Amino acid sequence: MTPRSSDILDYAPPAWIRAHETFWACELSNLDRDMTAAEIGCGTGANLLRAAAFVGRFVGLESDADLRRRASDAVKGLRGLSVLELGATTLPLVNGSVDLLFSDLTRPGARPPDWLGDARRVLSDLGNVTLLAFAEGADAKTLRDDWTARAAEAGFAPTWTEHGPDALVELLRNHGFDVWKESSGDVFTVIRAAVEPD
C-alpha cells in the first residue's frame, strides 16, 4: 500500500510536535478577528482549524490534490475558512486582500517559497509574510534526520526545503520585503517580513 502524502506527519518526532505547539501558542496572539490570512501549503487544514477562532478569514492554499480534498472536508461548513488550489508561482487571491501570508517550511515536502514574486500583489498595505523554518544548528538537523529515519521505516522518502533562514531572508529582501528573524528555540526560526514602501 502506498502511504498518503499527509500520513508522513504521523511520524513527526515529539521534539517537532512540541516546537510546533509552542510556536502556535505564541503565534495565535498575533492574529486578529479583523484579519484575513492565507496559509501556503495548508496540508490537511490543521492550522486552519487551530486558528479559526482567532482570525476573521483564513484561506488554505494547497497544490497536492489529496491534501486539498482532505483540508476542504475538514473546514466544510465552518465560517471564514476555505481551501483553494495553489498554482505554480501565482496566488489565487485578490489584489490587496490578505493581511498575513504564512508558510510552514518545517514539514516534509513543504514547497519552497516560489510564490514570493506574487506575494506583494495580494498583501494589504500593512500585510506581512511569516515563514516558519528550521533553525541553523545541530538540534534542527538531528530532528530532521530522526524524522527522515522514522518515515523511511514506513516507506516514505521525505524531502526537505533547502532554504535555511539566511537564504529565506535574502530571498524576501530580493522581493522587496523588510525582514527580521526571531528565534523560536533551538529547532525553529520565525522569519517575518513586511512590504517595503515604494
HEC assignment per residue over 96-109: CCEEEEEEECCCCC
Q: Confidence band (pLDDT; 50, 70, 90) for 1?
A: very low
In order of 47, 127, 134, 151, the CA distances from 107 in angstroms are 12, 24, 9, 12
Are residues 87 and 137 in contact, defined by beta-carbon separation less than 8 angstroms? no
Per-residue pLDDT, averaged over 171-197, amounts to 86
- Domain that residue 91 falls in: 5-195
In order of 8, 70, 111, the CA distances from 147 in angstroms are 9, 23, 18
The model's pLDDT over 79-138, given as tens digits with 9 standing for 90+, comes to 999 999 998 788 999 999 999 999 999 988 887 888 998 999 999 998 999 999 999 889
pTM of the predicted model, to two decimals? 0.91
The model's pLDDT over 67-83, given as tens digits with 9 standing for 90+, comes to 999 999 999 999 999 99
**Number of structural domains found in the chain:** 1
Are residues 74 and 82 in contact, defined by beta-carbon separation less than 8 angstroms? no
Is beta strand 177-184 parallel, antiparallel or unpaired with respect to 188-195?
Answer: antiparallel
| pLDDT for the residue numbered 84 | 97
Identify which has the larger pLDDT, 161 or 175. Answer: 175
Are residues 109 and 161 in contact, defined by beta-carbon separation less than 8 angstroms? no
Per-residue pLDDT, averaged over 157-173, amounts to 88
The mean predicted confidence, pLDDT, of the chain is 89
The CATH number linked to 121 is 3.40.50.150
